[in-house]
Amino acid sequence: MDIQLEALTKKRLEQSKWAYTTRRINQEQEFQLLHGKLIPLPGDLLLARVDEIGQHKRLELVSSRRASLFEGDEIVVVYGNRYAPDQFEGIVPDHLGACRLVAAGGVAARLLNRHDRVKSATRITPLGLLADKQGHRINLSSARLPKVDLIDPTPLVLVVAGTSMNSGKTTACANLVKGFVRQNIDVAAAKFTGTGAGADYRALVDAGADPVFDFIDAGYVSTYRVNRDTLLDIVMTLGAEMAAAQPEIIVVEIADGLLQRETARLFATPFFTDWIDGVIFAANDALGAQAGVSWLTARQLPVVAITGILTSSPLAQREAEGVCGLPVYHTNSLARANISSYIFSCLKFRKQHRLDSSKAVMAMDVEQG
Amino acid sequence: MINNLIPGKIYHRTIDGMSQMNYFVYIPIKSRDETRIMYTIHGISRNAEEHIRGFIPQAERYGAAIIAPLFTRTDFPRYQQLGTSVNQERADMAFDHVLQDAHEYLGIPPAPMRMFGFSGGGQFVHRYAMFYPKRVARMVLAAPSWYTFPDPERKYPYGIKSSLDWPNLRFAMEKFLQIPTRVLIGEEDDLRDKDLNKTREIDSFQGLNRGERAERWTTAVRALGRSYDISTDFHLEKVPNASHAYESYLAHPPFIEQIFDFLFDDQAE
């Protein structure tokens, strides 16, 4: 037989380290191990053995604690595609053979490329896919939030995008959330794209956003190589869940740089761009800020400010303000109420202005019609 | 004629209150409209009357009255920053007394103001406009030494953050950004003269001379405007051959014309 099912004891599963990416899966259910000639899919859960420790010496658990890994450890991770210019590029393999741990949040993939400055990815051997008691493989999509058709448009929506990975987006998002919370503004937050990482999610929780989501809640372990419909599904699902909590503002992080394929696709999705009231752009330097702001404004996106790594340098900050014609806020200052109050009032003003303009256009249409 | 003041003459008026406040008024011979009023604020030489004298030809041509308050050195040593603190020597409040008196005694109607300020007066005008953006229709700032940046990270008067001296400040920046503004800087006003504030806080952030500071301030204001999606009308213009002396600005014939033209541009007949 090409495919075999193997019983899994509760004890074995309890001793395994469950990665952050599995956080929506009920660990109390009955599991079986499915192996043989199988083609894994993005989002499939697998039990794997750690063979050789490489770049990732720790695995982020469901609790986001970074647990040390030892050779021989059994881990529950998720197959997924990984796009990380500062680390690895990996894709879901077409077999259950040896592969790599390509993200600390728990993503298994076939390694394609790695950055010069990182070690080789930790080697793992898949022992099989996790299956339910009926023998069906378990995928993150089985535990996702429900699909929706509409998002309540009431809350303000602020998006943080950047030049690249490690340009200061996550810190900016967490600080923005903190700044709004300090003004007693209810904030919901989410990360729409990237690779499942507990640190990013927890940063938003720790800053005081409630609720907080990432694409895992929509059933996806990462967004690398997903199509436009999947991106729209993530926007709709997480956008609707956040808006349903009736926050005053929603903060959304978009991973990687604007040139990354899925990021660019998302910013070319009218439903998403129409939903946004403002974008804050995180950059590493003034030239990157200029390029990013030009890219966004060429698409008529409402960029309201610049932040990110460049703000560590007062001279870079001055250059960026001069060349981009936008306020530049130090990443850490975003957590201060006096800064976030201006960002909030700016978004409110823009939204009101947009509503007034569309009402005026509608009235003109009625008059002419 | 406004309340029987004889046109074509400069009047000096004194208001008694907590502290005495003086101001000068000029009513043009050919007044077109009682709402055409220019408010001019002197620099640290406190030459309020001289401002009016220099502006008479244009006041006549534009049919505009002129009001020039005088902030004395004794009562308002830091009128440029509107006061030394929220409770002390508030030049903006003294100016409000002038407005009230001009309304009650002279019958000058209250309306959004067209304001000009030279040097310290330019500092006063833009800060007054930040505090009371609805009261200012247009402003021309000539040669301010330094500015209040629309920066919520810096304490007032450097930025718009509250401090112990200036607590609970709230600025309606979206209104301030809609005030059409010209900043006029002498082409040769790039010296670090004795009147230039040279503290590290200002040098490092605003620039080393009035030219750099004006450029950075207009950039910052326009940047905030872009952030709010407000198409701002804040522009910096250079005045040929002018240094920092008021006379050197006046020596450039189009200077005063430029001020009046801009301040009353939207009221053109």
Of the candidates A302, A339, A353, the beta carbon closest to that of B152 is on: A339
Does residue A313 belong to the interface with chain B, where contact is any CB pair within 8 Å? no
Mutate to test the interface with A, among B227, B229, B230, B236 (most CBs of A within 10 A): B227
Chain A residues in contact with B162 (beta carbon < 8 A): 338
Average pLDDT for residues A5-27, to the nearest whole number? 96
The model's confidence at residue B105, banded by pLDDT at 50, 70 and 90, is confident
The model's confidence at residue A354, banded by pLDDT at 50, 70 and 90, is confident
Contact A115, A86 (CB under 8 A): yes
Backbone dihedral region for residue A145 (phi beyond 0: left; psi -120 to 50: alpha; all else: beta): beta
Q: A66-83 pLDDT, tens per residue?
A: 999 999 999 999 999 999
Percent of chain B with pLDDT over 90: 75
Contact A104, A66 (CB under 8 A): yes
Of the candidates B173, B204, B216, the beta carbon closest to that of A342 is on: B173
Contact A262, A222 (CB under 8 A): no
A and B: number of Cβ contacts within 8 A = 53
Give the per-residue pLDDT at B17: 74
Structural element, H or E, at residue B247: helix B246-250
Say whether pLDDT at B4 is over 80: no
Q: A187-244 pLDDT, tens per residue?
A: 999 999 999 999 999 999 999 999 999 999 999 999 999 999 999 999 999 999 999 9
**Residue in chain A lying closest to B168 (CA):** A338
Chain B residues in contact with A353 (beta carbon < 8 A): 229
Say whether pLDDT at B76 is over 80: yes
Does residue A333 belong to the interface with chain B, where contact is any CB pair within 8 Å? yes
Give the per-residue pLDDT at B2: 60
Does residue B168 belong to the interface with chain A, where contact is any CB pair within 8 Å? no
Distance, in angstroms, between A230 CA and closest chain B CA? 31
Chain A residues in contact with B204 (beta carbon < 8 A): 314
Average pLDDT for residues A255-259, to the nearest whole number? 95
Of the candidates A325, A338, A350, the beta carbon closest to that of B228 is on: A350
Distance, in angstroms, between B164 CA and closest chain A CA? 15
Average pLDDT for residues B109-118, to the nearest whole number? 92
Distance, in angstroms, between B221 CA and closest chain A CA? 9
For residue A341, CA distances in Å to A97, A182, A230, A350 come to: 53, 10, 34, 14
CB contact under 8 A, B229 and A349: yes
Give the per-residue pLDDT at A1: 57
Say whether pLDDT at B1 is over 60: no
Does residue A336 belong to the interface with chain B, where contact is any CB pair within 8 Å? yes
Kindly report the average pLDDT of chain B as a whole number: 92
Amino acid at A265: R
Percent of chain B with pLDDT over 70: 97
Amino acid at B51: H
Percent of chain A with pLDDT over 90: 93
Give the per-residue pLDDT at A369: 61
Please report the domains of chain B, with CATH numbers, ordered by start residue. 10-267 (3.40.50.1820)
Q: Which of A5-19, B27-41, B62-76, B143-157 has the lowest mean pLDDT?
A: B27-41
Does residue B46 belong to the interface with chain A, where contact is any CB pair within 8 Å? no
Backbone dihedral region for residue B241 (phi beyond 0: left; psi -120 to 50: alpha; all else: beta): left
Give the per-residue pLDDT at A360: 79
Question: Sign (positive/negative) of CA torsion A300, A302, A305, A306?
Answer: negative
Does residue B212 belong to the interface with chain A, where contact is any CB pair within 8 Å? no
**Residue in chain A lying closest to B160 (CA):** A338
Does residue A341 belong to the interface with chain B, where contact is any CB pair within 8 Å? yes
Give the per-residue pLDDT at B3: 66
Give the per-residue pLDDT at B247: 87
CB contact under 8 A, B153 and A329: yes
Does residue B152 belong to the interface with chain A, where contact is any CB pair within 8 Å? yes
Please report the domains of chain A, with CATH numbers, ordered by start residue. 3-143 (no CATH), 156-365 (3.40.50.300)
The model's confidence at residue B269, banded by pLDDT at 50, 70 and 90, is low
Average pLDDT for residues A12-22, to the nearest whole number? 97
CB contact under 8 A, A346 and B227: yes
φ, ψ of residue A253 in degrees (nearest 5): -100, 135
**Residue in chain A lying closest to B162 (CA):** A338
- Write A309-316 long-range contacts (CB < 8 A, 24+): A309/A166, A309/A167, A309/A168, A309/A282, A309/A283, A309/A284, A309/A285, A310/A283, A310/A284, A310/A285, A310/A286, A311/A168, A314/B204, A314/B205, A316/A285, A316/A286
Of the candidates A326, A345, A349, the beta carbon closest to that of B223 is on: A326
Instruction: Enter the tokens of residue B216.
Output: 């950075």
Chain B residues in contact with A346 (beta carbon < 8 A): 174, 227-228
CB contact under 8 A, B226 and A326: yes
Give the per-residue pLDDT at B97: 93
Question: From CA B26, how far away is CA B3, in angstroms rounded?
Answer: 13
Give the per-residue pLDDT at B268: 62
Percent of chain A with pLDDT over 70: 99
Does residue B228 belong to the interface with chain A, where contact is any CB pair within 8 Å? yes
Q: A105-121 pLDDT, tens per residue?
A: 999 999 999 999 999 99
Kindly report the average pLDDT of chain A as a whole number: 95
| DSSP code, position B81 | G
